[in-house]
Amino acid sequence: MGDEARKMRDRLNAVSCSFCLAKWYQVTIHLQNGHTHSCHHPRTHKVPLEEIAANPSALHNTNFKKQRRKEMLEGVRPAECDYCWNVEDAPGDNLSDRALKSAEWWEADKFDAARTMPWDADVNPTYVEVSFGNVCNFKCSYCVPQISSKWMEEVKRFGPYPISRQHDSLEHVERRGLMPIPEREENPYVDAFWRWWPELYRTLRVFRITGGEPLLNKNTFSVLEHILAEPNPELHLSVNSNLGIPDDLYARFLDLVRTIVERKAIASFHLYSSVDAHGRRAEYIRHGLDYEKWIANARRYFETVPESQLTIMSTFNALSVTSFVPMARDIMALRKQYRTRKDRTRIVLDLPYLREPRHQSVMVLGADFAAAKDAMLAFANNEPGVLDWERNKVARIHAMLGKPWPEERLVPARADFYRFFSEHDRRRGTDFLGAFPEMEEFWNLCRRLAEANPLTTIQAPYY
């Protein structure tokens, strides 16, 4: 990918120093609140209702986004793309996501089309992620109300958590236009999606349904039924699920996907699910999870859907460290048992590390838990079946744990760690030390810091 991305970077720069195909051909759409962005780095922006009334493809082709395309064609760096500009301006021959994303197979051949079309033209993206709603039966500790209806219910009842950097403030959700439209109400953004869908579907290459919990949303099943009725052999379809949904819904989902795959109605199917620790610890982080049911439902998926693929998105956070190894052993056991006919793996462990909320970042641990972090690295280096890129991600996390935050950042984050999880236990009837007895010394340290540093100011949320 490196050589291809460098070649693509040269082609992009021949048009302008800011040209990027992702602004044309990649989109994530949150239909529950009408927000969209192209590339996951820029902040989402609201889709004006008047734009989708006239043109349903404005779910992607907003006037705001078209202005950013114009800037890119003219060599102006859009401010919202500062992640890539920081990478490109750093010393060395650095490849930013501008080059990496533009070189992806699903859009690289669209280079000339994007370069030559009018900047204000409507374009059908080839990579689409869509969230139909925020209905979810989980309340993961690092989630937010606009993504999970269970979080929304809790915050409406109790208010935001009493921490210095709130990540669940409904005031901020409302101010940014992120408040979800309730599932029971008419949603103009969902209506616009279905008006656009017949045209969009014909040119899609990658379609991924996220949530909320997608298998609790009727629109997910409508998509699957449409694919079964009108096959698209070029389409790579993905669905996220927490694998904790009712058995009847899961059975219906597996039956539809199995039929779609067996009839070769799409090019491939990929399931994404999340688990961040082992057993009771995982259930504490992802409130609502039944770890053994999660394992059982992963097995049902492999045994029902031929040649099916599963990516486990393990959002590595401060509560993942002490039980990473037994979690990874369970995943390696699944990998060993379920292989493709050509003896290739059907399961991948992805290890993105949590940046926000800051008090749950792995960096809040500082230099503590050295034995646990070393055990992670030893497992990754010595366990048969671990993939090279998985090993590299473990090594990255291990290196991060060796570089603690400065005190001025570490102290308030640790104080918030105690404030958040003590309130978490009060609201949800959980027991932090019951789930993480090995963290008692760290817990007491965070408690002392919270008591010594009373909460006087609350910063605006970071999302």
Q: Inform me whether the pLDDT recorded for 401 exceeds 90.
A: no
**Omega within 30 of 0 (cis) for the link into 357:** yes
Nearest residue to 120 (alpha-carbon basis) of 63, 185, 44? 63
pLDDT, residue 193, reads 98
pLDDT, residue 366, reads 76
User: Does residue 439 contact residue 365 with C-beta atoms inside 8 Å?
Assistant: no
| Bridge partners, residue 28, by sequence | 37, 129
pLDDT, residue 31, reads 97
The mean pLDDT value for 432-459 works out to 92
> pLDDT category, 85, cuts 50, 70, 90?
very high
As a whole number, the mean pLDDT across the chain is 94
> pLDDT category, 1, cuts 50, 70, 90?
low
The mean pLDDT value for 193-198 works out to 98
| Bridge partners, residue 459, by sequence | 165
**Omega within 30 of 0 (cis) for the link into 402:** no
Q: Inform me whether the pLDDT recorded for 455 exceeds 90.
A: no
pLDDT, residue 49, reads 97
Q: What is the pLDDT of residues 299-317, one digit of tens each?
A: 999 999 988 899 999 999 9
Q: What percent of the chain has pLDDT over 70?
A: 98
pLDDT, residue 169, reads 85
d(CA 315, CA 324): 11
Q: Inform me whether the pLDDT recorded for 94 exceeds 80.
A: yes
User: Does residue 201 contact residue 57 with C-beta atoms inside 8 Å?
Assistant: no
d(CA 329, CA 391): 14
pLDDT, residue 459, reads 66
Q: Inform me whether the pLDDT recorded for 463 exceeds 70.
A: no
> pLDDT category, 185, cuts 50, 70, 90?
very high
Q: What is the pLDDT of residues 325-376, one digit of tens each?
A: 999 999 999 999 999 888 889 999 999 888 889 999 999 997 778 889 999 9
Q: What is the pLDDT of residues 229-244, one digit of tens each?
A: 999 999 999 999 999 9
| Bridge partners, residue 350, by sequence | 313
The DSSP line for 355-420 is: -SSGGGSGGGGTT--HHHHHHHHHHHHHSTT--HHHHHHHHHHHHHHTSPPPHHHHHHHHHHHHHH
d(CA 329, CA 295): 12
> pLDDT category, 457, cuts 50, 70, 90?
low
Q: Inform me whether the pLDDT recorded for 402 exceeds 90.
A: no
The neighbour count for residue 157, using CB atoms within 10 Å, is: 8
> pLDDT category, 462, cuts 50, 70, 90?
low
The mean pLDDT value for 68-74 works out to 98
Q: Inform me whether the pLDDT recorded for 274 exceeds 80.
A: yes
CA 364 to chain centre: 21
Q: If one looks up domain 139-452 in CATH, what number appears? A: 3.80.30.10
> Which strand (E) or helix (H) includes residue 300?
helix 291-304
Query: Where exactly does CATH 3.80.30.10 map onto the chain?
Result: 139-452
Mean pLDDT check: name the lowest of 321-325, 338-342, 446-450: 338-342
Q: What is the pLDDT of residues 6-50, one digit of tens each?
A: 999 999 999 999 999 999 999 999 999 999 999 988 999 999 999
